[in-house]
């Protein structure tokens, strides 16, 4: 058996085993839509921690951050700060969303928005739009998996073939597992990822330099412009950094799959624990970014694609048996996080678009359609991956430009301000999404040295507030119980969601 055959055999066996574990763990809970999507709202702290972690630390973390550091420099640190801001907000936002979802039996983000603004039409629009945006996130995982397989096979497996294999593996793994199965898969994936990144982080300085001291000294003396802003492109300055941080930090919980995780949790305390301990994952990001900067020195004489940096280094320094383990961890970092994303996109289309447009459809039919759409949605992401290749981080940043536009509707109007209206939400979203499309298509990734998505979000908020001030509010008999459900009342030591009088 050749080296490549051995590595591929380990990957295949590992992926099949992890998929089987997910199917076994989630089979009993995945017989209904609520069980498949939110585990009947019974997920405990440990599984929720891994589920959140695997959604945040994906192929993007494993490959994309190193690639971004290697190609574009110090601006990459925005991503570490993003999660620090996001976790602080998540401490307050996720428990509130969970309580409202439990009170009103929400399964998706669209359920939340339709309930808050008493508008099924708005829910349909948001569901369809976010399902489309999620395809870009799925694309990120397909591109990551394709890059891994292409580099491992020394490009004997072309990119398109690698992407097709990625599509097939993702679709099958998601179809059977459900959210509970994905949580168990996440635990295995994260343990492997921690081990793989830790090994690379500690071996690189001694394999290519004379230890950490020499490596950091060479970074400071030989590539100072690379490890600071604005980086080699000269475009990622402080204005871009701050506005990108605000856009992605505040927009982090606007992704529909986080509602899915919030609804799955056993209670608010489970989600608050995640916000407290999730920053431990940040150590992985710091290690990967450092590897990316080291790669600038290591590959100084010949430039390589940014997405390939981590796997190329692993191939140079690890023995075959450990390279197989490393490759399996990388492959799982692309496969496992795609699960809730694909599930949410499919459920939004089935439950919040199709079921709302077709009256009297049976819940069982909605469930079957949600699962059947797994292959359709993942195939759409495959097509995007083939026709629109890009650096992994760029894919994510573009998707954030769009998804963050939900911030006014979800956080400001959904949890804080009773004066927000359906008309204000529609006008704000139209402004934010429209301006984002215009700026991106015209090549304006930045406006006045600010992230264009942030500029669109600022315009969105202004329009959202102004239109809400002059349009009809949601009746108090609907809105007051909704808002009250997010504020738990204490009875002894038990937290009980507030119920309207």
How many other C-beta atoms are found inside a 10 Å radius of the C-beta of residue 438? 12
Average pLDDT over residues 452-479: 94
Cis peptide before 257 (omega within 30 of 0): no
pLDDT for 179: 66
- DSSP one-letter code for 410: I
Write out pLDDT tens, residues 236-255.
Answer: 888 889 999 999 888 888 98
Higher pLDDT, 274 or 406: 406
DSSP-assigned beta bridge partners for residue 446: 451
User: 37 or 317: whose pLDDT is higher?
Assistant: 317
Kindly report which listed range (2-6, 134-138, 429-433) carries the lowest average pLDDT score: 134-138
Listed in sequence order, the DSSP H helices in 388-444 are 392-403, 407, 422-441
Residue 52: what pLDDT?
72
Taking a C-beta distance cutoff of 8 angstroms, is the pair 457, 404 a contact?
A: yes
Q: Which of 72-81, 174-183, 383-392, 421-430 has the highest mean pLDDT?
A: 421-430
Q: Write out the two tokens for 311.
A: 């796997």
Residues in the chain, overall count: 501
Is a pLDDT exceeding 60 seen at residue 219? yes
Average pLDDT, integer, range 151-157: 78
Q: Which helix (H) or strand (E) holds 189?
A: helix 159-208
pLDDT at position 428: 96
Q: Is residue 125 over pLDDT 80? A: yes
d(CA 261, CA 232) in angstroms, rounded, equals 38
pLDDT number for residue 172:
72
**Cα separations in angstroms, 200 against 314, 326, 360:** 7, 9, 55
Per domain, the residue ranges of the chain are 3-392
Q: Please enumerate in sequence order all residues whose Cβ is within 8 A of that of 199, keeping only pairs 6 or more positions apart, or say none.
A: 318, 322, 326
Q: Dihedral of the CA atoms 129, 243, 463, 416 (nearest 10)?
A: 80
- CA distance linking residue 9 with residue 4, whole number of Å: 8
Reported confidence tier of residue 420, pLDDT bands at 50, 70, 90: very high
Whether the predicted pLDDT of 127 surpasses 80:
yes
pLDDT at 159 over 70: no
Structure tokens at 94: 């996720």
Confidence band of 194 (pLDDT split at 50, 70, 90): confident
What is the pLDDT averaged over residues 27-33? 58
Q: What is the pLDDT at residue 42?
A: 65
* Share above pLDDT 70 across residues of the chain, in percent, rounded to a whole number: 86
Least confident of 192-196, 297-301, 384-388, 471-475: 384-388
| pLDDT of 409 higher than 80 | yes
**Is the pLDDT score of 364 beyond 90?**
no
Q: How many CA atoms lie within 13 A of 181 on its CB side?
A: 28
Least confident of 153-157, 203-207, 404-408: 153-157
pLDDT (tens digit, 9 = 90+) per residue, 68-124?
A: 889 888 888 888 888 888 888 888 898 999 899 888 988 888 999 999 999 999 999
- Confidence at 208, pLDDT banded by 50, 70, 90: very high
d(CA 435, CA 460): 9
Q: Which has the minimum average pLDDT: 127-136, 169-178, 228-237, 304-313?
A: 169-178
Residue linked to tokens 């574990």: 21
pLDDT at res. 14 = 87
Question: Is the omega angle on the peptide bond into residue 195 within 30 degrees of 0, that is, cis?
Answer: no
Q: Among candidates 37, 102, 49, which has minimal Cα distance to 495?
A: 102
Q: Is the pLDDT of residue 390 over 60?
A: no
- pLDDT (0 to 100) of residue 495: 40
CA neighbor of 175 nearest in space, from 374, 40, 379, 17: 374
* pTM of the full structure: 0.81
Sign of CA dihedral 256, 258, 262, 263: positive
- Residue 380's pLDDT is 81
Q: Is the pLDDT of residue 258 over 60?
A: yes
Mean pLDDT on 253-261: 84
Average pLDDT for the chain? 82
Residue 18: pLDDT band with limits 50, 70, 90: confident
Q: How many CA atoms lie within 13 A of 232 on its CB side?
A: 12
Structure confidence by residue, pLDDT tens digits, 166-188: 677 767 767 665 666 777 778 88
Is 498 a residue whose pLDDT tops 70?
no
Domain 3-392 carries which CATH code? Answer: 1.20.1730.10
DSSP letters along 280-309, please?
Answer: GGHHHHHHHHHHHHHHHHHTTTS---GGGH
Higher pLDDT, 104 or 368: 104
């Amino acid at each position: 058996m050749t080296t490549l055959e051995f590595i591929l055999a380990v990957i295949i066996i590992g992926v099949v085993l992890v998929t089987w574990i997910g199917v076994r763990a989630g089979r009993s809970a995945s017989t209904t839509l609520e069980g498949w999507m939110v585990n009947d709202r019974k997920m405990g702290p440990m599984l929720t921690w891994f589920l959140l972690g695997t959604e945040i630390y994906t192929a993007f973390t494993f490959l994309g951050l190193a690639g971004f550091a290697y190609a574009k420099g110090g601006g990459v640190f925005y991503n570490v700060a993003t999660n620090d801001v996001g976790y602080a907000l998540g401490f307050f936002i996720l428990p509130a969303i969970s309580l409202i979802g439990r009170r009103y039996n929400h399964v998706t983000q669209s359920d939340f928005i339709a309930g808050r603004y008493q508008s099924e039409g708005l829910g349909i629009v948001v569901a369809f739009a976010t399902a489309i945006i999620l395809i870009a996130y799925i694309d990120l995982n397909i591109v990551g998996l394709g890059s891994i397989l292409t580099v491992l096979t020394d490009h004997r497996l072309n990119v398109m073939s690698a992407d097709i294999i990625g599509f097939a593996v993702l679709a099958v793994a998601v179809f059977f597992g459900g959210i509970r199965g994905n949580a168990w898969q996440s635990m295995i994936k994260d343990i492997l990822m921690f081990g793989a990144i830790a090994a690379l982080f500690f071996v690189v300085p001694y394999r290519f330099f004379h230890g950490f001291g020499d490596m950091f000294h060479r970074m400071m003396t030989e590539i100072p412009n690379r490890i600071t802003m604005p980086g080699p492109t000269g475009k990622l300055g402080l204005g871009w950094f701050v506005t990108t941080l605000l856009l992605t930090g505040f927009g982090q919980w606007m992704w529909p799959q986080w509602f899915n995780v919030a609804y799955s949790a056993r209670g608010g305390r489970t989600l608050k624990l995640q916000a407290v301990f999730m920053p431990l994952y940040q150590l992985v990001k710091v290690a990967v970014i450092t590897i990316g900067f080291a790669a600038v020195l290591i590959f100084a004489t010949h430039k390589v694609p940014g997405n390939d940096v981590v796997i190329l280094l692993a191939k140079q320094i690890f023995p075959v048996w450990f390279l197989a383990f490393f490759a399996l961890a990388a492959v799982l970092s692309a496969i496992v996080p795609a699960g809730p994303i694909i599930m949410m996109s499919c459920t939004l289309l089935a439950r919040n678009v199709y079921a709302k447009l077709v009256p009297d459809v049976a819940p069982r039919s909605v469930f079957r359609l949600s699962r059947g759409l797994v292959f359709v949605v993942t195939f759409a992401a495959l097509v995007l991956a083939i026709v629109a290749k890009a650096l992994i981080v760029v894919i994510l940043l573009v998707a954030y430009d769009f998804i963050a536009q939900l911030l006014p509707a979800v956080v400001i109007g959904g949890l804080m301000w009773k004066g927000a209206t359906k008309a204000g939400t529609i006008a704000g979203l139209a402004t934010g999404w429209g301006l984002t499309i215009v700026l991106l298509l015209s090549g304006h990734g930045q406006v006045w040295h600010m992230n264009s998505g942030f500029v669109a979000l600022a315009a969105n908020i202004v329009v959202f507030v102004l239109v809400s001030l002059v349009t009809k509010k949601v009746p108090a008999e609907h809105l007051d119980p909704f808002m009250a459900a997010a504020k738990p009342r204490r009875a002894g030591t038990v937290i009980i969601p507030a119920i309207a009088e």
